């Protein structure tokens, strides 16, 4: 009986520890552009009535759009992800539209990943504009010229995207393949220039999660200690 209770409490301890860790990560990224919070769910584990983590999934709801007046800041208003090139030659996806120019003039993310399809801003450009449909234009020698097209990607199950760290995601069997398109078409959102999408982390919700998870963690620590003492008493009696 005591051993079963300890096993159940240990299972719950691991689950609450995971939820505390997840909540802490959400709070740490509250000011990260385009960051999507994750939620941890529990389910009953085996016949010992313990609990274990059943899922730890991202929540792809829209974050607040924050005006910055920086022409290289763009936000997606609606569904869709920016497509970026990864150092290993693969493709990643992100909602972080805090863009900048690299040393060659390419549009890259804050972590240096080039936007796909690649867009380069000429060195003599004096202004850049991005339309709601993602067309990028630059003012060159007093003339407005189209220099590229930002595309967005959608997925059948965006919760199945795999986190790569640094605010990057990759497709998986669970997410299904990317469907690429022009912003404003096929259910994709539109582009808002001069703004970034803030994280969708709710500090009040996360504070409540942290309090309840910490309380559950501490309660199971006490349970393990109590049952360990009970087991010791039973063994002493048997001797």
Residue 1: pLDDT band by 50, 70, 90 thresholds?
A: very low
**Alpha carbon separation from 180 to 82, 89, 156, 157, 201 (Å, rounded):** 10, 18, 12, 14, 27
Q: Please, are residues 41 and 59 in contact by the beta-carbon 8 Å criterion? A: no
pLDDT tens per residue, range 55-104:
788 999 999 999 999 999 999 999 999 999 999 999 999 999 999 999 99
Per-residue confidence (pLDDT) for residue 173, from 0 to 100: 96
| DSSP classification of residue 48 | G
The CB density around residue 201, as the number of other CB atoms within 10 Å, is 22
What are the residue ranges spanned by the domains of the chain? 2-57+201-238, 65-197
Entry pTM: 0.81
Under 8 Å CB-to-CB from 107, ≥6 apart: which residues? Answer: 72, 99, 100, 101, 114, 115, 118, 119, 120, 121, 136, 148
pLDDT at residue 234 greater than cutoff 60: no
User: How many CA atoms, within 13 angstroms, populate the side-chain half-sphere of residue 139?
Assistant: 6
Mean per-residue pLDDT, 183-202? 96
The CB density around residue 225, as the number of other CB atoms within 10 Å, is 12
Q: Please, are residues 17 and 217 in contact by the beta-carbon 8 Å criterion? A: yes
């Amino acid at each position: 009986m005591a051993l079963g209770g300890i096993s159940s409490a240990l299972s719950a301890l691991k689950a609450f520890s995971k939820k505390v860790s997840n909540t802490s990560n959400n709070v740490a990224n509250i000011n990260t552009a385009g960051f999507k919070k994750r939620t941890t769910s529990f389910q009953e584990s085996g016949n010992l009535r313990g609990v274990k983590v059943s899922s730890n999934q991202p929540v792809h709801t829209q974050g607040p759009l924050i005006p910055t007046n920086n022409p290289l800041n763009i936000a997606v208003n609606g569904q869709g992800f920016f497509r970026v090139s990864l150092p290993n030659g693969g493709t990643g996806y992100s909602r972080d539209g805090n863009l900048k120019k690299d040393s060659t003039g390419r549009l890259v993310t804050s972590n240096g990943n080039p936007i796909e399809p690649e867009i380069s801003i000429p060195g003599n450009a004096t202004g850049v504009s991005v339309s709601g449909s993602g067309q990028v234009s630059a003012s060159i020698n007093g003339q407005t010229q189209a220099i590229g097209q930002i595309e967005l990607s959608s997925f059948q199950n965006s919760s199945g995207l795999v986190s790569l760290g640094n605010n990057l995601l990759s497709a998986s069997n669970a997410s299904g393949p990317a469907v690429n398109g022009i912003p404003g078409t096929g259910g994709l959102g539109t582009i808002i220039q001069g703004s970034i999408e803030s994280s969708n982390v709710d500090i009040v919700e996360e504070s409540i999660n942290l309090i309840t998870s910490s309380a559950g963690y501490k309660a199971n620590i006490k349970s393990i200690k109590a049952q360990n003492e009970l087991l010791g008493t039973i063994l002493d009696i048997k001797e």
